[in-house]
Homo-oligomer: A and B are copies of this chain.
Amino acid sequence: MEEKPQRPGPKRSLSATRIVDAAMELFDGESPSIRGVAAHLGVRPNTLYTYLPDRAALERALVDRLLAEADPDLLLGRKGWRKRVEDYACALRGVLLGRRGAAALLHTAPMDGPTAALVGERLLAIFVAAGLAPDDAARATYVVIVHVLGSATLTAADLNGRGEEAVVAERMAIQMDAQYFPLTAATWPVVARWNTEDQFRWSLQVLLVGCAGSA
């Protein structure tokens, strides 16, 4: 587990990048703690303050890593524009659900990193190419971002580390009172699947159609 140090130097050679690397492996439901990351690196907690001003800085770096890991290049290429948005959105959803606590992190701090800017610009370009006026493209971009992050966070809270089908099964077992909640009871097979990937894709289609209709 220990890398061979490249140069003799001090015991370990730390850096902000290596700290964020370590933190990326420590999602377990909470976002990685300063003390947890330090322990993982075999170092005292306060050591990290040589490289990071505070915990918020660590979290902002993690947000950017997560956005990048979903591969913003999926927004490029010559597939249809809806398909490209859907591909990146699903990839990001996958990344956020794959690391417990990651989704909540995206809602914690403003996304002002370089990858966020890149993703925003590419979504804008897609909507402009699709025929939206630039200002409407900007608004549409926000709608997509909100939906992806919002649904990923709700879904992550619901999954809580379990598999999608386990959660659906659990929800299907719930009996809604058909007297007080007739429609909820009647549509329960759909409601029980709210936090699934097919609902996610359905929502995205609706969003994109709605946005395109504003052209």
Contact = CB atoms under 8 A, between A and B. Distances in A.
A150 B139 contact: no
Interface SS of A by simple majority: helix
Contacts of A125: 183
Nearest to A153: B107
A118 to B, nearest CB: 8
Contacts of A208: 210
Interface stretch (A16-24, A71-79, A185-193): A185-193
A146 B207 CA distance: 12
Interface size bucket, A side?
A: 35 or more
Q: Copy number in this complex?
A: 2
A147 interface: yes
Interface stretch (A5-13, A46-54, A83-91, A130-138): A130-138
Interface in A151-201: 151, 153-154, 157-158, 176, 180-184, 186-187, 189-191, 194, 199
A154 B143 contact: no
A194 B183 CA distance: 34
A145 B202 CA distance: 15
Given A134-B186, A151-B150, A190-B138, A117 B203 contact: no
Interface of A: 104, 107-110, 117-118, 120-121, 124-125, 128, 134-135, 137-140, 142-143, 145-147, 149-151, 153-154, 157-158, 176, 180-184, 186-187, 189-191, 194, 199, 202-203, 206-211, 213-214
Given A146-B203, A206-B213, 5 more contacts: A104-B108, A108-B157, A109-B157, A150-B150, A150-B153
